[in-house]
Structure 1
Amino acid sequence: MDQSRLSKKERHQLILSEVRRSASIRISRLALRLGVAGETIRRDLIELGDAGLLNRTYGGATISLVTSEPVIAERSLTMIEERARIGRGAAGLVEKGQIVMIDGGSTTYEVARSLSQLKRELTVITNSIGVASVAGANPTFRVILCPGTYDSREASVVGEDTVEFVRRYNADIAIIGASSLSADGPSDMIPGAAAVKRAMIARALSTALVVTNDKFGRNSLERVCALDALSDIVTDREPQPALRAIIEAAGTELRVFSGA
């Protein structure tokens, strides 16, 4: 392939791939790799940086990395309306009588809260105390709470026992959250959380990721999965065009529930 004839979208995808592979990269190397002028690469990095997909550095770029996250009690006090819209939107993906896996998190809790207001006769499998409590308030729901090591900061359980328990079940849909979402897929900062999410994804026919817009264009400690492992991404605002294009190329349905 003649690299100099690549479209901007294709060039952006290659740049992100190179930066992910090397963690950081120089403009001169990217220009040589893609066979275009350094000024073209510089403009590309500005666009990708504005989209939050990478951090520009002097003469190059690095991946944007999230290294910490507030506890769930603090997160639940922020972006309240945005999470509520996402919760209502994601609840609409669940049909009557289905088996639903829901992992711990402030946004997944809102999904469970919206579901609990509907007569759907669901079976809910979760590792979250909060999700189990709100789902259990609906008399038509059967709630299965996973065993495991309790994390008081997240009000959920994680660990090998949790993962093995999840693997015993089949589900119609898994609804998961994440600390971050980038071209590399969702990632998470909570120790042990990514393993539970992956177990749920593996046992479900479809997976919906629920994330607020502040998670876009960042990476956290542990990658959960690739974008093409997700059936849907439910959010409250359109991502930057560069990230949206990558999501669409992965075959993932983007569902935006804005306040407008």
Structure 2
Amino acid sequence: MNIEPGRLTKKERHELILSEVRRSASIRISKLARRIGVAGETIRRDLIELGEAGLINRTYGGATISLVTSEPVIAERGLTMVEERARIGRGAAGLIEKGSIVMIDGGSTTYEVARGLSQLGRDLTIITNSVGVASVAGANPGFRVILCPGTYDSREAAVLGEDTVEFVRRYNADIAIIGASALNAEGPSDMISGAAAVKRAMMGRSLSTMLVVTNDKFGRSGLERVCALSEISDIVTDSEPAASLRAAIDEAGGELHVVAE
């Protein structure tokens, strides 16, 4: 059924386009134009914006859903974007106030945040499900480190599952520091559902949330969305995102911190 042209905002058009692409897995520009009732050139511009935001993959004459289907294990991820992760870690650590209670989830970038924090002379309480984060944070005698129980996942060198989530919910924190497999205008997402559940639990018990993410995650979608962009207080990264993603972050009210070289 066609929709009367001129009656939809760009946001409404984008929502309809995403709905159509999700329903069909892939769809042609001509078909979208007929469904929505606007010119093909308007749809083409919309697809460019949605593609830059990582919500779709643009194809010749149409679009498909953009989805990250797999991710290397944490040991392999730690060998890539090394300097970028280290910069993010130092930058994020510098934003944490002395005496804070900090929840940190498992991940190669969050590990760098813990490493950055451990090098600072600040008394902190660290609550984490990551063995690596606990180990590096525990090297600082001024830190109190609480390691969550749960089922060990060797892919992430972290514990996950219902026991982990329930344990997290016992505590209150000033800030949750989380990573993500992907980040687009809809928010951060993760390839591992158990990891996404722990992130949400940490966010639910914290006064604010900091997302730490390298630029290679921009414009992508993971299996499970963690939260909306509006639920993120701060995003710390190594380079400026595309204009459409930056606009979405600004509109959501989050503060973007780009850590220069």
TM-score when normalising by structure 1: 0.91
**For residues 230-251 of structure 1, what are the alpha-carbon distances to aligned partners after superposition, in whole Å with 9 as ceiling and x for unaligned?**
1011111111101111111111
Which residues in structure 2 correspond to 1:230-249 (within 5 Å)?
230-249=232-251
In structure 2, relative to structure 1, the CA distance for the partners of 1:192 and 1:121 (3 Å cut) is: same
Matched letter for residue 16 of structure 2 = E
Report the equivalent of 1:223: 225
**For residues 206-231 of structure 1, what are the alpha-carbon distances to aligned partners after superposition, in whole Å with 9 as ceiling and x for unaligned?**
00000000001111111111111110
In structure 2, relative to structure 1, the CA distance for the partners of 1:142 and 1:99 (3 Å cut) is: same
Q: How many angstroms does 1:92 deviate by?
A: 1.7
Matched letter for residue 131 of structure 2 = I
Report the equivalent of 1:17: 15
In structure 2, relative to structure 1, the CA distance for the partners of 1:46 and 1:106 (3 Å cut) is: same
Contact map agreement 1:147 1:165 (CA 8 A) in 2: yes
Report the equivalent of 1:208: 210
State how far apart, in whole Å, the 2-side matches of 1:57 and 1:14 are. 22
Match of 1:39 among 41, 45, 51: 41
State how far apart, in whole Å, the 2-side matches of 1:70 and 1:159 are. 20
Report the equivalent of 1:76: 78
- DSSP 3-state at the match of 1:192: helix
Unaligned runs of 5+ in 1: none
Match of 1:166 among 156, 165, 168: 168
- DSSP 3-state at the match of 2:68: coil
Which residues in structure 2 correspond to 1:1-260 (within 5 Å)?
4=6, 11=10, 13-22=11-20, 23=22, 24=25, 25-28=27-30, 30-31=32-33, 36-50=38-52, 52-259=54-261
Contact map agreement 1:19 1:63 (CA 8 A) in 2: no
RMSD: 2.0
TM-score when normalising by structure 2: 0.90
Following TM superposition, the consecutive aligned residue runs of length 4 or more in structure 1 with deviations greater than 6 angstroms are none
State how far apart, in whole Å, the 2-side matches of 1:18 and 1:133 are. 47
Q: How many angstroms does 1:255 deviate by?
A: 1.0
Q: How many angstroms does 1:61 deviate by?
A: 1.9
Unaligned runs of 5+ in 2: none
In structure 2, relative to structure 1, the CA distance for the partners of 1:20 and 1:37 (3 Å cut) is: closer
Matched letter for residue 252 of structure 1 = G
In structure 2, relative to structure 1, the CA distance for the partners of 1:96 and 1:222 (3 Å cut) is: same
The percent identity for this pair of structures is: 77
